[in-house]
């Protein structure tokens, strides 16, 4: 089955169809039965991954609840541990998480969490982030694609450049010609 297992309980339940997995750490990929091409490093990393493949997970209990979710990248203690069937998600930071069944979520920060598909959250989930610098936000769909646009948010906190938006406290434009 071409699997690599290092540690007690790693790939404990793998059968002949689960191949090309790498599990390192106590009970990593423990319940894997037929999932393939997963990398789980850390105790109980990808513990419940049964059929989802292509996940790359580093951190104790990272990706713990993933069962059928695929191609998730999770880095940090408990990162992405609520994901069950969601795919193509990225969580970086201790206890950063994505909604269990949603896809294409990006979550970066300590205790930060996304709640919907195609959502990106960056910052510290337990306190307000005081500043966010993003280089390269441009209005590429406008008639003048080289003009820098001011990034604003609406009442729901959604980023954008439209006239119904208001300035976000702490967001500043950054360009390569500024120190």
- Check residue 121 and give its pLDDT: 85
Averaged pLDDT, 132-156: 50
pLDDT, one tens digit per residue, over 69-85 is 999 999 999 999 999 99
Mean pLDDT of 126-139: 54
Q: Are 86 and 72 in contact (CB under 8 A)?
A: yes
Give the integer Cα–Cα distance in Å for 36 and 50.
Answer: 9
pTM of the full structure: 0.75
- What pLDDT score was predicted for residue 142? 42
Q: So what's the pLDDT on residue 10?
A: 94
User: What pLDDT, on a 0 to 100 scale, did the predictor assign at position 33?
Assistant: 87
Mean pLDDT within 24-53: 94
- Better-scored residue on pLDDT, 135 or 105: 105
């Amino acid at each position: 089955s071409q699997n690599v297992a290092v540690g007690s309980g790693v790939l404990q339940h793998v059968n002949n169809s689960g191949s090309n997995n790498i599990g390192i750490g106590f009970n990593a990929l423990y319940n894997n039965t037929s999932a393939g091409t997963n990398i789980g490093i850390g105790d109980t990393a990808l513990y419940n991954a049964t059929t989802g493949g292509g996940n790359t997970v580093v951190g104790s209990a990272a990706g713990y609840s993933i069962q059928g979710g695929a191609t998730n990248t999770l880095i940090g203690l408990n990162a992405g541990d609520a994901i069950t069937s969601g795919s193509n998600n990225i969580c970086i930071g201790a206890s950063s998480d994505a909604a269990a069944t949603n896809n294409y979520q990006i979550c970066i920060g300590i205790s930060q969490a996304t709640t919907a598909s195609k959502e990106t959250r960056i910052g510290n989930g337990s306190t307000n982030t005081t500043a966010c610098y993003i280089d390269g936000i441009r209005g590429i769909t406008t008639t003048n694609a080289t003009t820098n646009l001011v990034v604003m948010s609406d009442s729901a906190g959604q980023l954008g450049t439209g006239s119904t938006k208001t300035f976000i406290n702490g967001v500043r434009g950054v360009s390569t010609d500024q120190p």
